Amino acid sequence: MSDIGIDTTRPHVARMYDYYLGGKDNFAVDREAVAAVEAAMPEVRQLALENRAFLRRAVTYMTRAGIRQFIDIGAGLPTAGNTHEVAQATAPGARVVYVDNDPIVLAHGRALLATNADTTVVTADLRDPDEVIGHDEVRELIDFTRPVGVLLIAMTHFLREDERDWVMGTLRESLAPGSYLAATHVTVDGHSPGAVEGVEAAYRKTPTPIYFRRHDEISRFFDGFELVEPGLVTVDEWRPDPNDPAPEPTRWLYGGVGRRP
């Protein structure tokens, strides 16, 4: 453990994701875990890039729909093309709170965002949604009486079945009508059981195991939201943008955006 509470003895999903995207904020233990994932899913870096492309399209969609405040839960490190850059390019002054449970995200994110008064980073965990919603620094930037865009990009697949309804229900009930939820989730559909098991085995060595699911199981994360067109689809099929091309599709991720009526 380092002096700011960073555990370098176990891989962490935020640092693994940073490595998928070519970042440098990761440790040998994270890179070893990524190697194990790549052995089962060679296209995982491609998957990470198409996931980021979906995030950019979803944030652009929400800003064009009038959303001016965002909570990006499980955000990882705020690298290029992240939520605040996309949102504030379309809507200057849009407010963004990044939430992650890895102290390295707080340490690096605060330094990166020090000059951006409309953006902050807080440490909290999706599994404790009351902590996320009630966090003082979240409340400083986010007005929950007005619509909010919530991002759970590659996050819902870390929730167990017995956590889903409570976590998602708590988040949903905190949001004003007209709020949006954007989420992506890995799927078993169309993929070999061996590849799925290989990735799940690698993530079982982290503090946050991953759970691949079918389309009908993933759709339940949007209970209480009205999915906007084209619904819950593989991320390459969700409003592709020729001006912001994504990599070749892997079909490993479903994604969607839902509106709270």
Pick from 151, 169, 188: nearest CA to 55:
151
Evaluate if residue 207 carries a pLDDT over 90: no
Confidence at 73, pLDDT banded by 50, 70, 90: very high
User: What is the per-residue pLDDT across 13-59, written as a single tens digit (0 to 9) for each?
Assistant: 888 888 888 888 889 999 999 999 999 999 999 999 999 999 999 99
Helix orientation angle between 44-64 and 83-90, rounded to the nearest 10 degrees: 30
Q: Which of 49-53, 199-203, 204-208, 253-257 has the lowest mean pLDDT?
A: 204-208
User: What is the per-residue pLDDT across 91-136, written as a single tens digit (0 to 9) for each?
Assistant: 999 999 999 988 777 777 777 677 788 999 999 999 999 999 999 9
Q: Could you give phi then psi for residue 136, rounded to 5 degrees?
A: -55, -40
> What are the boundaries of each domain within the chain?
46-191+214-259
Write down the pTM of the prediction.
0.92
Contact between 61 and 84 (Cβ < 8 Å) = no
DSSP H or E segment with residue 139: helix 136-141
DSSP H or E segment with residue 197: helix 193-203
Interatomic CA distance for residues 104 and 97, integer angstroms: 16
CATH number of 46-191+214-259: 3.40.50.150
